[in-house]
Amino acid sequence: MTVDDANAGDGTEPTANPTPEPPTYPTPHHEVDHTAEPSDDPLAIRLEQLILGADRRYTPFQAARTAGVSMELASRFWRAMGFADIGQAKALTEADVLALRRLAGLVEAGLLSEPMAVQVARSTGQTTARLAEWQIDSFLEGLTEPPEPGMTRTEVTYPLVELLLPELEEFLIYVWRRQLAAATGRVVQAADDEEMVDRRLAVGFADLVGFTRLTRRLEEEELGELVEAFETTCADLVAAHGGRLIKTLGDEVLYCADDPGTAAEIALRLIETLGHDETMPALRVGIAFGTVTTRMGDVFGTTVNLASRLTSIAPKDAVLVDGALAAELSRTGDAPASEAEAAEEAVRAEKEGRQAATYRFALQPMWQRPVRGLGVVEPWLLTRRPN
């Protein structure tokens, strides 16, 4: 609420001939000033100059004007990337101006709509913010002792960043290009344009059982190590077997796969691998197959919700799947429709002197049960089938 709004209707008269104030450039969409002062710590400024490769030269207004964009659009881009408002402090560099110019240029050329450009800024900012935090934390934790007596961890940061920056920059671009090539390939292989956004995917949740109790029992460092080990193991297994890791939530991992058989294999591998780790709690996994909406690298929709609900009702160290995924595994020959049918097939094959069909998975129907928000579902217990 503005000051004028607060005084409206309270019987007070507006002040006559108010003293003129110097012009300001208010941040749009914010009624209260929540600006953050840029750091004036000498080492922080030196690090910023090293990483950005430029000195602070512009206020936000000057940067927007130099880039040829409105202050409102510049503020939207800045916030979308995850940065706090900085008022009119002289804290921006040539790199900031160039970034504004590039994004605005994509909009002007008609390659991106303005909302899409903001989404690009937001998705890039969110992804790289977590990456940057993780890298700095990991690199500094790896320094058990400063290279010279008396040096603080803060003083170690500058030479460390100076050495790592060029290599990490090249590696980041390489990985991004690889991921972009993979994502583009999946889009090209889509059956039609609608599948680019709404696609049929197998979605799996893997959840550590009793994690809340662990947070009360373990020290922070131990808890951090456990979460890191869990996320690393899941990420490696998902990638190695052809799935895609969507996100990690501490005690939970969300992944997806184009092929239901791939999703099922990943789920069982997770159960088997973590089951052999005595430091890990029990794991449970839920998988559903169906139409999924993809947006900014995330997945949404009823299929995702169902996978989450199946995870919450799965027994320890077990995998529950929905009927659609069970039917697809049967259709592709990855699992028999029933064990009775598999037994009959084995008998026929023996009589005919041929090799019986082999299946990777076994499916056992469980009791139907109501699931909050999704009605009654019939989960299937997925196991590995010995042959």
- Read off the pLDDT of residues 65-99 as tens digits, 9 standing for 90 and up: 999 999 999 988 988 888 888 888 888 999 899 99
For the chain, the average pLDDT equals 81
All residues at 6 or more sequence positions from 246 whose CB lies less than 8 Å from its CB, including other chains: 254, 255, 256, 297, 298, 299
**Model pLDDT, residue 4:** 40
All residues at 6 or more sequence positions from 187 whose CB lies less than 8 Å from its CB, including other chains: 196
**Model pLDDT, residue 43:** 78
Place of tokens 């607060």: 6
Burial 335-354 (b: 16+ CB within 10 A, else e): bbeeeeebeeeeeeeeeeee
All residues at 6 or more sequence positions from 285 whose CB lies less than 8 Å from its CB, including other chains: 204, 205, 206, 207, 267, 270, 271, 311, 314, 318, 319, 320
User: If we measure between CA atoms, which residue out of 248, 113, 244 comes closest to residue 186?
Assistant: 244
Q: Are strands 318-321 and 380-384 parallel, antiparallel or unpaired?
A: antiparallel
Residue 162 reports pLDDT greater than 90 = no
Phi and psi angles of residue 305, each rounded to the nearest 5 degrees, phi first: -60, -40
**Model pLDDT, residue 368:** 81
**Model pLDDT, residue 283:** 95
Q: Which is it for the CA torsion 307, 308, 312, 316, positive or negative?
A: positive
Q: Is 203 helix (H, G, I), strand (E, B) or coil?
A: strand
Region 168-179: what's the mean pLDDT?
Answer: 90
Kind and range of the H or E element at 128? helix 114-141
**Of 101-105, 135-139, 274-278, 362-366, the least confident:** 135-139
Region 157-185: what's the mean pLDDT?
Answer: 86
User: If we measure between CA atoms, which residue out of 78, 93, 90 comes closest to residue 29?
Assistant: 78
**Model pLDDT, residue 191:** 54
Residue 29 reports pLDDT greater than 60 = no
**Of 26-30, 136-140, 251-255, 362-366, the least confident:** 26-30
DSSP state of 196: G
**Model pLDDT, residue 14:** 38
**Model pLDDT, residue 189:** 67
Residue 154 reports pLDDT greater than 70 = no
For 195-232, the pLDDT digits (tens) are 455 688 999 999 999 887 877 877 877 888 888 889 88
Region 314-327: what's the mean pLDDT?
Answer: 95
Region 136-161: what's the mean pLDDT?
Answer: 70
Tell me how far apart the alpha carbons of residues 372 and 309 are, in angstroms, rounded to a whole number.
Answer: 8
How many Cα neighbours within 13 Å face the side chain of 11?
Answer: 0
Region 11-16: what's the mean pLDDT?
Answer: 39
Which of 177-191, 270-284, 315-329 tops mean pLDDT? 315-329
Residue 145 reports pLDDT greater than 70 = no
Region 355-372: what's the mean pLDDT?
Answer: 83
Region 176-186: what's the mean pLDDT?
Answer: 84
Residue 277 reports pLDDT greater than 70 = yes
**Of 121-125, 141-145, 173-177, 304-308, the least confident:** 141-145
Q: Is 185 helix (H, G, I), strand (E, B) or coil?
A: helix
Residue 7 reports pLDDT greater than 60 = no
**Of 23-27, 37-41, 263-267, 306-310, the least confident:** 23-27
DSSP state of 37: P
pLDDT-derived band at 1 (thresholds 50, 70, 90) equals: very low
